[in-house]
Structure formats: structure tokens, C-alpha cells
A and B are shown apart, each in its own frame.
Chain A
């Protein structure tokens, strides 16, 4: 299959004024020429094939939205080249936009004071969607998520979830070949998230629409993405199948311990102290194991370890020698903790 998006060594720099502190500083800033250059995206490359769903992940401020904006043609890369459907987006913004759909999670392209259907009608004209496609799409969307009740509701009166749903539908209305979803599930409840995931999945599957999705919700990633790209501080940390990532961290385990069931009011204090105690204990015993970490979740104390560094049994033994374990479970590492690990620099 052909790649629909090609990103070739792009870098995006922003110039920002170095702001000074305080009132005096604010006045001085009026005349300041002291700019600093911020590299939001630093020399990244990737190729995305027709029909893929790519999860584009990274902590806040990693450069995700900047990359999306460059792919949609809103931003111009400082250097490097992007091709979307064989076009340079920022040079052919209008032409490019006919074949892409975009949803920025916290914004809406719908007309605020009008029912959603009016926005759809306007989009129909703007994107020159023929009557049949338009009608078919609306019926299709209704069949998928039962959206027809929403069509006639004023956007202003919609809940966040309903509006986001309508925005996503709007972005698919002209059958674009690529859809960019920038945090589409932000702030939504579980059932709406599920609905939106289902919608994206089906549209991707049946229409072959390529979807590029940024999110902080690992549920989205697990439900939708085969491939994930992780970016932090403007550089790509990981770009591969999600399975590979799990394999990479396959040797990671989380063991949860519980030491006393009750403890009532003093419990929290005790758990915290126990956690510290175990932390220092393990650090002393297994000083070679770098990825070893101890956390706390209500009554539970979590020990994250890498079996390649230190066998699990050793840790359990070590703890058992000093403490009475009431309960214990072993957990596979979740995508969430994998990604957290990568954000924290676990891949080096």
C-alpha cells in the first residue's frame, strides 16, 4: 500500500520573547529584542499508509499538535518536507483541505447558534459534496451512532460529548482520505468515549480512512491503534506496532502487595511509611536494578520491576522475610504504564 503521508526530517521552531519578571520587567519587555528559539518539533520523519490508525502520543507540550497543524497546512515547517496525498500541505492549503478532515478536541467548527444540521449543510456546499453522498453519509452516521436526534439540536445547547461527536461526523462528511483527530475524547464520559471509538473504528474499517489520533487516554490507544508514535520534546521516541512495545516491556511486571487489611484512620500513614520502608529496602538489596520502583494505590503497594534485571521471586522473598504479606497480585504491564515509562525516559 502507498503511503498517504510522508514526513521527511521536519523541524518547527517558534520564536518567543524572553519575558522578564515583574512590572518593571514587563515595561522593559516592550522594547526587548531578546528572543529565544524553541524547537517544538525536532527533525522527525515518518510515513503513514492508507487505512492506518496511528496513535500519536506524548506528554503535554511534546509537539503533537504542532505536527498535526503542519500536516493540515496551518503551520509551515521551518525545514523538512511533508507530503499529504502527494501535496505539500501549507503550499496547497485549499486543495489539501478537500481531502482531509480535522477535529481539534477543544474547538468546534460547527456554527454555535444553529442546529448541527445547518453546519452540515454549509459543509456540504463548501466541500461540494453531492446530494447522494451527503444523504447517504447522514443516514450512515445515524445508523452507526444514532445521531439523527442531534442533527436538529442547537450546537450551543449540546453537551461536550454530543458536540464532539457532531464535530467528528462533520470531519468525515466529505469522505476525506485522512482525518486528524487532536484529542477527540478529552473530557468525555465513558459511554461517549466508547461511542466515539466505535465510530472511528468502523469508519476506518469500512471507508479505509486513515486516522491520525492524538490522545492522552490509553483506552483510545488500546481500542483503536495498531501503530503508535510517541513523541517527546519534539523528537520521536518510538514508532512501531503496539505489540512490539508490549514485547519490549514484556519483562516488566507489577506486583501489588497488601500488608494489613485494617488500620482504619491511621492506615494511610502506615501504608505510606511501609512504602518508603520497602523502597529503601529494595534499593539497598537490588541496587543494580534501575527500573525498580515502588508506588502506592490506596491500600496497595505496587512494585514495578524488570525481570531481566531482577527475578520476581527474589523480591517477593526479600519482602516476605521482613513483612507479613496479607494479599498479593501480579499484573501484566498496561499500555498506560509502558507509555509512562517511555515518557520518563525508560527507553534509553
Chain B
């Protein structure tokens, strides 16, 4: 029984292993990502500096410039870490018909997609997220708490990855209808980056918008783990609430994306893609 189980898991981990090796073989793309991030950081540094300079007080919406920068740098690191190209890969495989080869694997397509991209998560965790986290911690001399919250943070990130994956998978399947990828993907990126708090901290949102955003799954992707990591005032109860909320969204998003996939795969099986 146990043997059989490990057999099944191997099936998925072999994909993880493959995708790790695949991302490692693109050494330069990693370098480019690092350079791109530096440029982005410089831009947001001056942008927010200007925003704070034009404000009369040191604290805007409960956050100092210092807080905001920590938040945004870590948000960027998290974004790079969770960024996967599932919309692209699904969309392109649909257009080229390559998807047929993936459908005839003895494996659920959605699970296949997840694991075939999972190596990227692991790689970028070690190459971008972890170094950034350490650098920020050293520079700010303990700008965020490093204690029990790390365990919650890791849990929260894993849940966030699943939610993010489901959003991407859902949007990827939309490409079956639009028959193009670019526009759909750009829209997704803008919506997710804004509504998840990845590009602007949610504290800066107008009240009404923030209420709406709180009821959407996106903020469970970036805002939740970042809050757990940065906010020192949280208690165990808060952590559990945040994570409970994420688990709720994981369940909903898996359900929605699976239903959508099952409905949409008929486009391939019925109309040949």
C-alpha cells in the first residue's frame, strides 16, 4: 500500500524534477530577471519617495516609507517566486495542438500542469525570494519579525501558490475561447497585481475598494503571506484567520477551475481545438 502510494507521488515529483532541470538550463534568463528586478526596484523607490515627499506627514495610511518599501520589495520577490507561465503554456499548447499530447498522458491535466511548472517555484524560491528576504532583513536590521510567524508564512505561501496557480490555470483555459494569449495574459497580470496588493499595498486603497478586494481571492495570493511576514502586531488568532481564509479560497478556486476546465475541454474534444 505504502509502496503504491510512493509510486504515485514519484509520478508527480518526476515532473517537478524535470522542470527544475529545465529552469536551470536557462541560466541567462535568471540573470535577466535579477537585472529587471533591480530596475523595477529603483523605479518604485523613487516613485514612493515622491509620494511620501508630497505628503505632509511621515505616515501615510498607517505605513511609513520604510514599511512601504519593505512591503513592496518583498511583494516583488514573492511575485517573482510565484510567477509561473501557465497561461502562456496552456494557451500556446492549445494553439499549436501540443495539448493533445498532454491530454493522452495517464494523469489529470490540471495536476500535470501544476507539477510540470512546480520546479520553477522551487528554483525561484532559492534564487530570488530567499536572497531578497535575507538582504531585506539585514538592511533593515530586523524590519520584519522572524519567529513563529515564519511557519505560518510558509504555509500561507504554499496556499498562495495554489490559489495563484488556479487563477492562472483558469485564465489559461479562457484562451481556448479567445484563441489568443497575449491580451488575456496582460489583463490577468494587471488585475492580479493590483487587486492582490502586489503593486500597491492594500492600505492605500480607498475604503470601499478595499472592502471589495477583501472578498476576492487575489489578496490571498500576495497580501496574506506578506501580512503574516511583516505585520508584527498579529496574534495567533489572526494568523489562523488569514490562513483559514486562504484555505477557503484554495477550495473554491480548485473547484471553479476544475469545473471550468471540464466544461472547456470539450472545445478540444468536440471541436478539435
Interface-lining segment among B60-68, B98-106, B216-224: B98-106
Do residues A14 and B106 form an inter-chain contact, with CB atoms below 8 A?
no
Interface residue from B21, B106, B266, B272 paired with A69 (Cβ < 8 Å): B272
The reply to whether A126 and B272 form a contact with Cβ atoms under 8 Å apart is: no
Is B11 engaged at the interface, CB distance under 8 Å to the other chain?
A: yes
Asked whether, in the complex, the Cβ of A128 is within 8 Å of the Cβ of B21, the reply is no
Interface of B is mostly: helix
Could you say which of A95-103, A185-193, A252-260 contacts chain B? A95-103
Q: Which of A110-118, A264-272, A284-292, A311-319 is the contact stretch?
A: A110-118
Q: A76-B270, A126-B107, A127-B106 are in contact. Are A69 and B100 (CB under 8 A)?
A: yes
Chain B's nearest CB lies how many Å from the CB of A249? 34
Evaluate contact between A111 and B107: CB separation under 8 angstroms.
no
B: interface residue count bin: 20 to 34
Residues of B within 8 A of A98 (CB): 106
Q: Are B11 and A128 in contact (CB under 8 A)?
A: yes
Nearest CB of A to B176, in Å: 14
- Interface status of A90 (Cβ within 8 A of chain B): yes
A109 at the interface (CB under 8 A from B): yes
Contact present for A94 and B11 (CB under 8 Å): no
Question: Contact mask B1-20 → A, CB, 8 Å, 1/0?
Answer: 00000010011011101100
Q: Flag whether B26 is at the interface (Cβ < 8 A).
A: yes
Distance in Å: Cβ of B118 to nearest Cβ of chain A: 13
CA distance A134 to B13 in the complex (A): 18
Q: Mark A73-86, 1 if CB is under 8 A from B, else 0.
A: 11110000000000
Cα distance, A128 to B5, chains bound together (Å): 12
Which A residues lie at the B interface, using CB under 8 A? 14-15, 40, 66, 69, 72-76, 90, 93-98, 100, 102, 104, 107, 109, 111-114, 118-119, 121-122, 124-128, 154
20 A-B pairs in the complex with CB atoms less than 8 angstroms apart? A14-B271, A15-B271, A74-B269, A75-B270, A94-B108, A95-B106, A97-B104, A102-B101, A102-B104, A104-B100, A107-B96, A107-B97, A107-B100, A109-B101, A113-B26, A121-B14, A122-B14, A122-B18, A124-B14, A126-B15
